[in-house]
Amino acid sequence: MQVKDKIVIVTGAGSGIGAAAAKHFAKHQAKVVVSDVKEEKAQKIADEIKDAKGEATVMVANVAKFNEVEDLITKTVSHYGRLDVMVNNAGIGPKNMARTGDYTLEDWDSVIAVNQTGVFYCMKLAIKQMVKQGEGNIVNIASLAGLKASLNNLSYSASKFAVVGMTKSAALEYATKNIRINAVCPGYTESALLDKLLSVRPDMDQRLKSVIPMKRYGLAEEIAEAVVWLASDSTKFITGQTITLDGGTSL
């Protein structure tokens, strides 16, 4: 993976896919800003990276707040001098899964604020910096739920469809500026979101695995490999794409 010495921000890097991506970038000698809304979680991942002889800096940010995203990118550029890669991973699910007519306003507003508006904020401000530099790379974490229907999960599905659309639109706009923008769409992956679902509905475990041709959940590390690959110099002619990692579920 050709990401050595690249300055990388990973949001939502305190756990799951974000943590795996941060570690994988560091493993390949990138300089990683581990960002999360919870400082202690981000610090734990940064410490693990440092213990493995990697370079990591912790920066706390809630991506649903524009000023905090602005501070995140300003501090990164102030510290490292540039921003090469922005990985927009921070995301949440609804507290209650329900049909559209019964969906709560709280779940709609909170999920859209983080998963959709948060990605917009991060893209907007990262692109501004990357245009100044003359190059950059953005990888957005979407979902299989951004490509196909997801029952009783309206805000999450809406937000991930939006991430796919924003990825393609922005990629088209900035292709001539040497800024590449792609997305990965994980299927059911071992993560805090999946754990939350299964804690409420243990019966869903076998049901979910039954629709995955590989009969298992994805691993965060497997998603991370695709993220780092898209962010690397090995993929210089790829932009505006969605890479689906779902064990064949979409088939």
Give me the pLDDT at residue 210, please.
Answer: 85
- Which stretches of the chain drop beneath a pLDDT of 50? none
- With 0-12 / 13-18 / 19 or more C-beta atoms within 10 angstroms meaning exposed / middle / buried, residue 101 is exposed
Nearest to 142 by CA among 180, 183, 114: 183
User: What are the tokens at 236?
Assistant: 């210089």
Q: Structural domains in the chain?
A: 7-189+219-244 (3.40.50.720)
**What SS3 class is residue 126?**
helix
Q: Classify 86 as helix, strand or coil.
A: strand
Active-site residues, by number, are: 156
Could you tell me the two tokens for 96? 């209650």
Contacts of 7 (CB under 8 A, 6+ apart): 30, 31, 33, 76, 80, 81, 82, 83, 84, 85
Decide if 14 contacts 21 (C-beta within 8 A).
no
Report the candidate in 79, 33, 75 with the shortest Cα–Cα distance to residue 54. 33
Output the furthest CA–CA distance in the chain (Å, rounded): 51
Distance CA 27, CA 32 (A): 10
Q: Do residues 140 and 183 make contact, with C-beta atoms less than 8 angstroms apart?
A: yes
Q: What is the pLDDT of residues 103-158, one digit of tens each?
A: 999 999 999 999 999 999 999 999 999 999 999 999 999 999 999 998 899 999 99
Angle at the Cα of 59 (from 236 to 62), degrees rounded to 5? 90
Distance CA 87, CA 142 (A): 11
The pLDDT value given to residue 1: 67
Give the per-residue pLDDT at 232: 98
Residue 208: per-residue pLDDT: 82
